[in-house]
Amino acid sequence: MNEYFQLIDQAIYLHRSRKPDYDRAVVGLTKGFRKLLEPQREMVNNIVYRIKQDLSLKEKILRRQWYRGVSLPSQILDNIYDCLGIMIECRFMSEEEEVFRAIRSAFTVQAEDGFFECEKLKGIHLDLSRPQPCIQKNGLPNYRIDGRYYFEDKVVYFELQIRSLINSFWSNIEHSVVYKNNVFISDNNEYGVEMLSAIRNNLMGIDTMLQIVKKQIEEQSLPMGERMSIQDLCGKLFSDAISRKLDKEIGVVTKTKHVSKLLANSLVYFAQERNNVDVLVPMIAVKLEQIQSPDVKLTEPITLFAKNKEQERTVGLLQSVVNEDFEWHLFFVLYAVLSEQIDADFSGFYRLIGVVMNEKDYTDFTVKRVASRVEQLLLEEN
């Protein structure tokens, strides 16, 4: 076995020495696919890359036994397309197929070994002989295409993937929790399988709801009563996430309607005010799972800070209730997570509360009352 490990170490060294070629390929590939997918730019959030780490590559060579039947390290690496990974990240699961079709329709010139090239993107060859999406070992579909990038007298092997926000997030969960876990797990671990399946199903539900949210945001010609369902949908997402968090951390689920409503109304209000409602869709997909993190605690005291004299009266009132009224406490714990990209320092919310406080008839300072008033302000703004 010693000669096998020597061969693997040589392959790792060769992989490391190819980094300048990988870097060169990344520039050409990302530039090329961005140009190709310009008509689909609304769908494509980003194009990212990953160079496989040495330890990960070594583990894969051992697991797949790619050291057998070869005598050169290059023979090992030439079988591993994902030494360099290119991922096209789109918004929704339904858009993965649309992005793939756009790529498939452009790569029509047959090259060799089942690979195709695009007349507009010289040097990029894709293996389109396999049906897409591929079915993974976990039974789930995934758009995964082997590719080669030719430049000068060199060729770099790469793997192209197309993933939605939700599928990308799910892949990170599965990779970190399952594949990177070396603890022995029984094949009959039905509970673990069921839990992973439940998480996957919840994420698919979020993907569907986010598409509805995005559609409502874009259809600005709808009557106001219909457009307000954006807040309702956000509120539903928040309510479900808060209930799971309450059950997990304190073992009790209380009504969260008013807290969810105030969260949704406030975030939509600031997103519309700053004309960046598009931030809501990708943000919600990520932030809802962050709420479930053990680092987000529902029972620890909260201290609010005023950044200037104008905020002192408002912050003073909020501080007097935030650790006494559980709904207010719950709101601020979650708002700190959810508002990071829209109102990170709470200044917007303090200003909004200041407007509410200055109303003469406003004496009932509850989450329910404030949520309703913010909803009225949204209607007035529109």
Quote the domain boundaries for residue 324. 191-381
Beta strand 154-164 with 134-135: parallel, antiparallel or unpaired? unpaired
Name every residue whose Cβ is closer than 8 Å to that of residue 370 and which is 6 or more positions away in sequence.
Answer: 262, 353, 356
- The pLDDT value recorded for residue 92 is 86
Based on the fold, state whether residues 160 and 199 are members of the same structural domain.
no
- The pLDDT value recorded for residue 223 is 47
In-domain check, residue 66: yes
Please give the structure tokens belonging to residue 277: 């409602």
263: exposed, middle or buried (Cβ count in 10 Å: 0-12, 13-18, 19+): buried
Nearest to 272 by CA among 373, 142, 377, 141: 377
In-domain check, residue 186: no
- CA–CA distance, 95 with 98 (Å, rounded to integer): 5
Q: What is the pLDDT of residues 183-204, one digit of tens each?
A: 444 455 555 556 666 666 667 7
In-domain check, residue 158: yes
- The pLDDT value recorded for residue 376 is 77
Based on the fold, state whether residues 62 and 198 are members of the same structural domain.
no
In-domain check, residue 184: no
* Residue in the block written with tokens 């994420």: 203
Three-class SS string for 305-333?
A: CCCCHHHHHHHHHHHHHHCCCHHHHHHHH
Least confident interval from 53-57, 122-126, 232-236, 354-358: 354-358
In-domain check, residue 25: yes
- Residue 227, pLDDT above cutoff 50: no
- The pLDDT value recorded for residue 80 is 87
pTM above 0.75, yes or no: no
Least confident interval from 14-23, 166-175, 271-280: 271-280
Instruction: Say how many domains are in the chain.
Output: 2
In-domain check, residue 241: yes
Q: How confident is the model at residue 224 (pLDDT cuts 50, 70, 90)?
A: very low
Domain finish residue from 148, 179, 210: 179
Cα 281 to Cα 94, 213, 265, 341, distances in angstroms: 15, 7, 15, 12
Q: What is the pLDDT of residues 157-173, one digit of tens each?
A: 999 999 988 887 777 66
- Residue 318, pLDDT above cutoff 70: yes
In-domain check, residue 185: no
Based on the fold, state whether residues 296 and 173 are members of the same structural domain.
no
Higher pLDDT, 373 or 106: 106
- Residue 107, pLDDT above cutoff 70: yes
- Residue 326, pLDDT above cutoff 90: no
Residue 162 belongs to domain with CATH number:
3.30.460.10
Q: How confident is the model at residue 283 (pLDDT cuts 50, 70, 90)?
A: low
Residue 10 Cα to chain centre, angstroms: 36
Residue 87 Cα to chain centre, angstroms: 13
Based on the fold, state whether residues 135 and 247 are members of the same structural domain.
no
Based on the fold, state whether residues 77 and 116 are members of the same structural domain.
yes
Based on the fold, state whether residues 59 and 129 are members of the same structural domain.
yes
Least confident interval from 34-48, 165-179, 240-254: 165-179
- Checking 120-128 for CB contacts under 8 A at 24+ apart, the result is 120/35, 120/36, 121/32, 121/33, 121/35, 121/36, 123/28, 123/32, 123/149, 123/150, 123/151, 124/28, 124/29, 124/32, 124/148, 124/149, 124/150, 125/149, 125/150, 126/160, 128/104
- Checking 217-220 for CB contacts under 8 A at 24+ apart, the result is 217/277, 217/278, 217/280, 217/281
- CA–CA distance, 271 with 250 (Å, rounded to integer): 32
Least confident interval from 22-26, 70-74, 137-141, 210-214: 210-214
Based on the fold, state whether residues 263 and 331 are members of the same structural domain.
yes
- Rg over CA atoms, the chain: 26
Q: How confident is the model at residue 378 (pLDDT cuts 50, 70, 90)?
A: low
Domain finish residue from 156, 179, 202: 179
* Residue in the block written with tokens 């005598």: 71
Domain finish residue from 139, 155, 179: 179
Contact between 316 and 353 (Cβ < 8 Å): no
Based on the fold, state whether residues 377 and 267 are members of the same structural domain.
yes
- Residue 360, pLDDT above cutoff 60: no
Q: What is the pLDDT of residues 125-155, one digit of tens each?
A: 999 988 898 887 666 788 999 999 999 889 9
Higher pLDDT, 311 or 194: 311
Q: How confident is the model at residue 22 (pLDDT cuts 50, 70, 90)?
A: very high
Based on the fold, state whether residues 225 and 83 are members of the same structural domain.
no
Least confident interval from 17-21, 165-169, 295-299, 362-366: 362-366
Determine the length of the chain.
Answer: 382
Based on the fold, state whether residues 225 and 96 are members of the same structural domain.
no
Q: What is the pLDDT of residues 59-92, one digit of tens each?
A: 888 887 877 888 888 888 888 888 999 999 988 8
Least confident interval from 160-174, 268-282, 361-375: 268-282
Based on the fold, state whether residues 110 and 139 are members of the same structural domain.
yes
Based on the fold, state whether residues 54 and 144 are members of the same structural domain.
yes
Higher pLDDT, 212 or 312: 312
